[in-house]
Structure 1
Amino acid sequence: MSLTKEKTLELLWQRMAERGDFPSLQRSVTGIVSAMQSENTSTADLASSVLSDFALTQKVIRLANSAMYAPFGCNVTTVSRAIMILGVDTIGHLALSLKLLEGFGEVAARRDDMARELARATLAGAFARDITSKNGIRDGEEAVVCTLLHHVARLLVTYCFANEWVEIQDIAVQQGVSDSDACEQVLGISFPELAEAAARKWGLPESIATSMRPIDLEGDAPLSHADWLCAVANMSNEMVTELTRGADPARLAELAERYADRLALDIREVVSVGEEMARDTSHQEFIAISTGASNTRQPPAGKPLDSVRRLADGLSEVRAATGETDAVGLLNLTLEAILQSLGFVNCAAFVRSPASKVFEMRFGIGREVQPLLGLTFPEAFEPDVFHLALTNGRAILIDNAREPRIVPRIPLWHRQHFSNVKSFFLLPVRQRNQTVALLYGDWGGALCAGGIGAKEMEFLHYMGEEISSKLESVAQQNTASGTNTTDSLARKPSGTAGR
C-alpha cells in the first residue's frame, strides 16, 4: 500500500482518536506545554499537570534526585519542591519527555515490536540527558524532548500502522535503505516529517518542531538552536545503535568524532558516556529489550512499607519551603508529600468558605479528583465522618468504607463520586480553634494495610501545623486590610463543580 503524506497524517490522527487502549497522550502533552508557556504559570499549575499521572510523578521525582540534579535537589520528594528548586522549564521539559515515553507504555507491554522501539527511545533519551548534563548544557532537557520525538514518529507508525510497519522493515532490509526512506515509500512520509507534524499537532514550541528536520553537519558555521537540538538527537539515536551492537570503543569514537566539533563536545566524554551506559544495569535492561527481550512491571498498590521515612522526608521538605512559597504553594506541596508518603491514589484539600458556609475542594491530585474540583459539602454539622473530623479537629482513618456499620457515616456525595474507595484518611487543619481546611486522601480500591501508626500520625499533624502557621502569618499580614484568612487559599478551580 502506498499513501500520500496528507492521507497518512489524516489516518494517523483518526486512528489515535478511535483506539480506546491508547493513552490520552495529546491531552497530557498539551497540558504540560500550556502550563510551561502561560505567563501566569504557577508551581501549582505545572505540578498539577505532572501529578495527574502517578507513574510520571515518581519518575520526575526520581530524576530530580539523580546525580545530575543532586547538587540542586537536596533530597527532593515532591514535584512542587522540584519545580521551586530547578525551575518551571527544567521540570516541564523533564515531565514532557517522560510523558512522551509513558504514552506508549501500556501498548508496548502487549506488543514486542513497540517494546523494542520504546526501549530504543528510552536509551536515546538517557544518552541525551547524560551527555548534556555532564557538559553543563542548560537546554539539556529540551534536547531530550527532541530526541524522544524522533522516536515518537516510529512509535506512532508501529502503533497505528502495524501491517505497514512490517512492510517498512522488509523494504529496508531488502533494498538496503533506511527505515525512514522505506516509510516514505510505503506511507508517503518520512519519520522526521512525521515527528515534526506530531510536534505541531501537540503545540510544542517551534524550535522543537523544526529540530525534527535533517541537518547537514558539514561546514563550520554556528548551528541554530533548532539545528543544535537536532544534532544532539541524531547523535543520541546513533548511540543506541552502537549500544545494541556491543558498544565497541572504536565505533563509539567514530560516532563521537562526527558530532563532537559541531556540538562543542569532548570526544572522550562522548565515548565515556556510551561506555557507562553499556555497563549500567538499568540501561542493560533496555538494551536487552531493544534486541528482542521483554519486561513488564506493575506499580505496587496501597501504603508503602517505608511510609514513616517518606513522611519524615516530606515534613522536612514542607518546612524548608514554608518561607519560600505562599499558602497555596505550601498546601499543594503538603498534599503531594502526603500522597507520596502514604501511597494515595487521590489526595485533595477542602477549604472553608465562610461566605458560602461550605467546604470546597479547591486543590486535588489524582485522576478521580481533578474533575471534581469545585465539589462542596455544607459546613453545618451532619452525622458523618467528615463533620466528625471538622468538629473534633482530629485525624480520622476509615479502614473500610464498605463495612455495613460504617456506610451510614459516609456522606452520599463521597459514595457517589468515590464509589470504588475502600480506605480513606482525613486530616483537619485548624486555626484559632476552628477547622479552616480538611485534607483528604484515599487508596482507591486498595485497603490501607496496617493502618496509620503513631509516628506516621505525628508527622501528618506536624504538616497540618505548618499550613496552619502559614495561614496565621498571612492573617496577621492581612489584618489591616480586612482580608479573610481563607482568601489566601483562593484559586481558580481547574475542574468542574461536583455538586
Structure 2
Amino acid sequence: MHTMSMTKEGTLELLWQRMSEKGDFPSLQRSVSSIVSAMQSEDTSTADLASSVLSDFALTQKVIRLANSAMYAPFGCNVTTVSRAIMILGVDTIGHLALSLKLLEGFGEVASHRQDMARELARASLAGAFARDITAKTGIRDGEEAVVCTLLHHVARMLVAYCFPEEWQQIQQLASNEGISDSDACERVLAISFPELAEAAAHKWGLPDGIARSMRPAEPADPDEPLSHADWLCTVANLSNEMVGELTSGADPDRIAALAASYADRLALDATEVVAIGEDMVRDTSHQEFLSISTGAPSTLLPPAGKPLDSVRRLATGLTEVRAATPGADADSLLNLTLEAIMQSLGFANCAAFLRNTHEKAFEARYGIGCDIQPVLGLSFPAAFEPDVFHLALTNGRAIFIENAHEPRIATRIPRWHRQHFGHVKSFFLLPVQQRNQPVALLYGDWGHVPCAGGLGSKEMEFLHHMGDEISKKLEGIAAPAEPSLHRKPAVAR
C-alpha cells in the first residue's frame, strides 16, 4: 500500500492544486469569500442583503423560518419578509446561514455520484442540525455561526475524499485495522490531521479567526472560568460531530451518555438534555434520509412520492402562520408567505400565483418560487374560458389535483404554455381564489418530475381552501393593477 511522503505544507499545496484542477471547488471558495466580504463590509445595506437572499430560494426559506423560530419569537412575531427578518437576525446571522448552505451545496453535486461523499455529506448535515438544536437549547443566538464551524469539520474530510480518493480509502482502512481515529490515520497518510486541514481551509477562504480556531480539538476547560466565544464554538462543533459519529455507528446508549456527560458542564446543560436532543433528532422524520445514507441502512420512512408524510400537520401550522400574519401584512407579503407555506407543506418543486388583471382580461404569473419559475414570471393566460384544467378550476371555484399530466386523456387539457415550460412535470395542483363568487387568483404548485401518487386528501384540501380564503381578504388591492408589477410586459400564453 502506497503511503505518501510529504510535509504538512506539501499536502496543503497539492490539495489546493487538485481543487483548482478539478474545477468544482474554486466556485465554492469564491462564494464563501464573497459572503465573508459582505459580512465584513460597512457598506452592505439591508436592501442589498435582502436582494442577495431573495435570489436564493433555499436561503430565503431558512431566513424567514429562523426569524419566526422560538428563539427569536419576542422579536419576530410572524415575520413574512426577508427585510424584516434581516433587521431581527442581523447581518452576521444571515451571513452564517448563507455560509452553511454554500458549504453543503459545494459538495452536493459530487455526493450525488459517489457513495462515500454522500455519506460524509449526510453526516455533515446531521451534525449541523444537532449544533443548531444544541444552541437553541442554550438560548444563545450564535447558533448559525456554530453550525458553520460544525460543517467545516466535515469539509476537511470531504476535501480529502474528493481530492485524494486513493489516500481516503487508505485512511479508512488504516483506522479500521489499527483501531485509531480517522484523523490520526489521515495524519499518518497525508502528514496532516483533519482539524489542521479544516483550519487551513478556513484561513484560505478568509473566514474569521474564531471560526478557524474552532476546528481544533476541544480542550478540557477550567470549570470556574466561562468559555470564551471561540472556545464555545469549538466545544459545540466537536460535540456535534462526535455525537453524530456515535448516532450513526451503533448508537450505543452508554457511549452516548458518556459523551454527553463529558460536554454538558462546559455548555451549561444537563447531560440528559444533550442525550434527549440526539434522540429527538433520530426520531425526526426530516432527518431519516440523512440517517439512512450515513449508516448505509435502507430508509423506512420515505414519504409518498413528492409529498411529506406529515403534510397535514405542516398545512395546519402553515395556516396558523398565515392567519396570524393576515391582519398586519400587505397583500404582497401575505401571498409570498402563503406560497412558501404551501410549498413547504406539500413538498412542491415550484409554486406560483396567477392574479387576475381586469384591464388585460388575463391571469398573470406575478409571484412565484421554485427551480423553474423565473422564466414564467410575467406570463399570462386569457381569462376567457378555454377547455383546459386551469380554466376548469377557475370556473368551478374548487381545487384540482392532476396526478399524471402525461396521461393522454389529461394531456389534451393541459395548455400549451404549461407544456412548454413544465413539460417534465407529472403531478400538479391548482387552487382558485375567489371574491364574491368570481375568481381573482389561481395558485399553482407542482412536484417537478416526481409524481405525487398519493394525491391530496380531504383534510389537505380543507386547509388549502382556508389559505385561499385568507388571500382573498387581502387581494382586492393588487388583483387588478393599473400597470403590471413585473419589470417586463407579460406575454400572453395559450
Query: How high is the TM-score relative to the length of structure 2?
Result: 0.68
Compared with structure 1, are the counterparts of its residues 127 and 440 closer, same or farther at alpha carbon in structure 2 (3 Å cutoff)? closer
| Bigger relative contact order (CA 8 A; separation at least 6) | 1
1:167 to 164, 170, 175: 170
Do 1:429 and 1:438's aligned partners in 2 also have CA atoms closer than 8 Å? yes
Rounded Cα–Cα distance in structure 2 between residues aligned with 1:406 and 1:229: 55
Q: In the alignment, which residue of structure 2 is the partner of 1:137?
A: 140
Contact preservation (8 Å) 1:127, 1:274 = no
Cα distance, 1:181 vs structure 2: 6.4
CA positional deviation for 1:163: 0.7
Residues 212-234 of structure 1 show CA distances to partners (whole Å, capped at 9, x for unaligned) of: 46787778997654453234323
For residues 11 and 290 of structure 1, the distance between their equivalents in structure 2, rounded to whole angstroms, comes to 27
2:218–2:235 contact (8 Å) kept in structure 1? yes
- Return the match for 1:348 from 348, 352, 375: 352
Distance in 2 (alpha carbons) for counterparts of 1:328 and 1:111: 42
| Aligned residue pairs, count | 467
Give the Å deviation of 1:210: 5.7
**Structure-2 change in CA distance of 1:167 and 1:121 (3 Å):** same
Structure 1 residues 384, 422: CA separation in 2 closer, same or farther (over 3 Å shift)? farther
Deviation readout 1:37-89 (Å, 9 max, x if unpaired): 86125599559622899xx99xx97x999xx949959xx999989x9799656
Pairing of 1:70-469 with structure 2 (within 5 A): 88=89, 97=100, 100=103, 113-114=116-117, 117-118=120-121, 121=124, 124-125=127-128, 127-169=130-172, 179-180=182-183, 183=186, 190-192=193-195, 194-196=197-199, 208=211, 211-212=214-215, 225-238=229-242, 246=252, 247-248=254-255, 252=259, 255-256=262-263, 260=265, 265=268, 269-270=270-271, 273-274=274-275, 277=278, 282=283, 294-296=297-299, 298-302=302-306, 310-352=314-356, 359-369=363-373, 371-379=374-382, 381=384, 383-385=386-388, 388=391, 392=395, 394-395=397-398, 397=400, 398-430=402-434, 435-447=439-451, 449=453, 456-469=460-473
Contact (CA 8 Å) 1:72, 1:85: kept in 2 or not?
no
User: Residue 289 of structure 2 contacts residue 299 of structure 2 at CA under 8 Å; is this kept in 1?
Assistant: no
Contact 1:128–1:143 under 8 Å retained in 2 = yes
1:373 touches 1:497 (CA, 8 Å); kept in 2? Answer: no
Structure 2: how far apart are the matches of 1:84 and 1:402?
41
For residue 236 of structure 1, report the CA deviation from its aligned partner. 3.7
Q: Which amino acid aligns with 1:7?
A: L
SS at match of 1:10: helix
Return the match for 1:49 from 43, 46, 57.
57
Flag the 1:294–1:25 CA change in 2: closer, same or farther, 3 A: farther
Q: Distance in 2 between matches of 1:152 and 1:424?
A: 37
C-alpha distance in 2 between matches for 1:100 and 1:289: 21
Q: For the structure 1 residues 389 and 186, does the alpha-carbon distance in structure 2 shift closer, same or farther, using more than 3 Å as the test? A: same
SS at match of 2:441: strand
CA contact (8 A) 2:312 2:459 kept: yes
Secondary structure in 2 matching 1:166: helix
Q: Can you list the C-alpha shifts for 1:71-127, whole angstroms capped at 9, x where unaligned?
A: 959xx999989x979965678856865775687678668866446645654564455
Question: 2:46 is paired with a residue of what secondary structure?
Answer: coil
1:466 CA drift (Å): 1.4
**1-structure distance, mates of 2:442, 2:34:** 27
The match for 2:17 is 10
AA aligned to 2:144 is: E
Relative distance call for 1:447 and 1:11 in structure 2 (3 A) is closer
Partner of 1:480: none
Structure 2 counterpart of 1:416, which letter? Q
1:479 corresponds in structure 2 to: none
What letter matches 1:8 in structure 2? L
Matched-pair identity in % = 55
Counterpart CA distance in 2 for 1:446 and 1:119 is 22
Q: 1:91 to 1:323 in 2, by over 3 A?
A: farther
Separation of aligned partners in 1, 2:282 and 2:398 = 43
RMSD: 5.7
CA deviations on 1:253-288 (whole Å, 9 max, x unpaired) are: 8843xx95xx5635xx24752487479854999999
Asked if structure 2 preserves the Cα contact closer than 8 Å seen for 1:169 and 1:182, the reply is yes
Change beyond 3 A, Cα 1:289–1:306 = closer
Indicate how the Cα distance of structure 1 residues 281 and 457 shifts in structure 2: closer, same or farther if over 3 A, else same: closer
Kept in 1: contact 2:80–2:334 (CA 8 A):
no
Change (3 A) 1:224 1:15: farther
The DSSP-based 3-state class of the residue aligned with 1:464 is helix
Once structures 1 and 2 are overlaid, which stretch shifts more, 175-184 or 375-384?
Answer: 175-184
The residue number in structure 2 matching 1:21 is: none
Question: CA 1:286 to 1:238, structure 2 compared with 1: closer, same or farther past 3 Å?
Answer: farther
Offset of 1:470 from its aligned partner?
1.4
C-alpha distance 201-383 of structure 1, shift in aligned 2 (>3 A): farther
Check whether the contact 1:303–1:448 (CA below 8 A) recurs between aligned residues.
Answer: yes
Give, as a single letter, the amino acid of the residue that structure 2 aligns with 1:323.
P
SS of the equivalent of 2:24 reads helix
Q: Structure 1 residues 129, 355: closer, same or farther in 2, change over 3 A?
A: same
SS of the equivalent of 1:364 reads strand
1-side partners of 2:395 and 2:379: how far apart?
Answer: 20
Distance 1:410 1:289 in 2: 38
SS across alignment from 1:17:
coil
Q: Kindly tell me: are residues 294 and 486 of structure 1, through their superposed partners in 2, closer, same or farther at Cα, counting changes over 3 Å? A: same
Change (3 A) 1:335 1:174: closer
Structure 2 equivalent of residue 478 of structure 1: none
Q: 1:415: how far off?
A: 0.7
Q: Deviations over 1:121-178 (max 9, x none)?
A: 4564455344433332221232122112112221232234221213345677899987
